[in-house]
């Protein structure tokens, strides 16, 4: 079972939902700097930033649960991308996003309602 899982997750992404839109993103991983930068980026008040940092500190103390005889891979939070958004102020980003939604079957054109 573990071998099948490793084979499955090591495959390249095949569904095509990828874009070359330039993004503003933070480095991989979750840490105090990432949380502070995210809070600053969102222009959050200092008390919300402190709340997030306190929650992060408590979260780090949590141990992985050990349930029955279940084996699973632990998440590596150092490999997570916490923040990624397209750069603003560019018309090309809007048209690229529009075409991505169309590929996914989402119609964003404005229609008159009766």
Q: What angle do CA 80, 30, 40 make, to 5 degrees?
A: 115
What is the rounded CA–CA span in Å between residue 64 and residue 27?
A: 24
Taking residues 60-89, report their average pLDDT: 78
Q: Is residue 14 part of a domain?
A: no
pLDDT tens digits along 52-67: 999 999 999 988 777 7
- Return the pLDDT at 97: 74
Q: Is residue 3 part of a domain?
A: no
Q: Is residue 27 part of a domain?
A: yes
Q: How many structural domains comprise the chain?
A: 1
pLDDT tens digits along 4-37: 888 887 887 776 666 666 777 788 888 999 899 8
- Return the pLDDT at 57: 95
Q: Is residue 114 part of a domain?
A: no
Q: Is the pLDDT of residue 91 over 60?
A: no
pTM of the predicted model as reported, rounded to 2 decimal places:
0.54
Q: Is residue 91 part of a domain?
A: yes
Q: What angle do CA 61, 67, 69 make, to 5 degrees?
A: 140
Q: Is residue 80 part of a domain?
A: yes
Q: Provide the residue range defining the domain that includes 88.
A: 19-66+74-103
| Mean pLDDT of the chain, nearest integer | 79
Q: Is residue 11 part of a domain?
A: no
- Return the pLDDT at 21: 67
Q: Is residue 62 part of a domain?
A: yes
């Amino acid at each position: 079972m573990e071998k099948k899982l490793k084979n499955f997750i090591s495959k390249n992404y095949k569904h095509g939902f990828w874009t070359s839109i330039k993004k503003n993103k933070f480095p991989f991983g979750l840490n105090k700097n990432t949380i502070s930068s995210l809070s600053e980026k969102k222009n959050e008040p200092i008390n919300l930033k402190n709340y997030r940092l306190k929650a992060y500190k408590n979260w780090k103390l949590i141990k992985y649960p050990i349930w029955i005889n279940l084996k699973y891979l632990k998440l590596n939070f150092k490999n997570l991308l916490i923040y990624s958004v397209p750069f603003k102020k560019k018309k090309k980003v809007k048209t690229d996003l529009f075409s991505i939604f169309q590929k996914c079957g989402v119609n964003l054109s404005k229609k008159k309602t009766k």
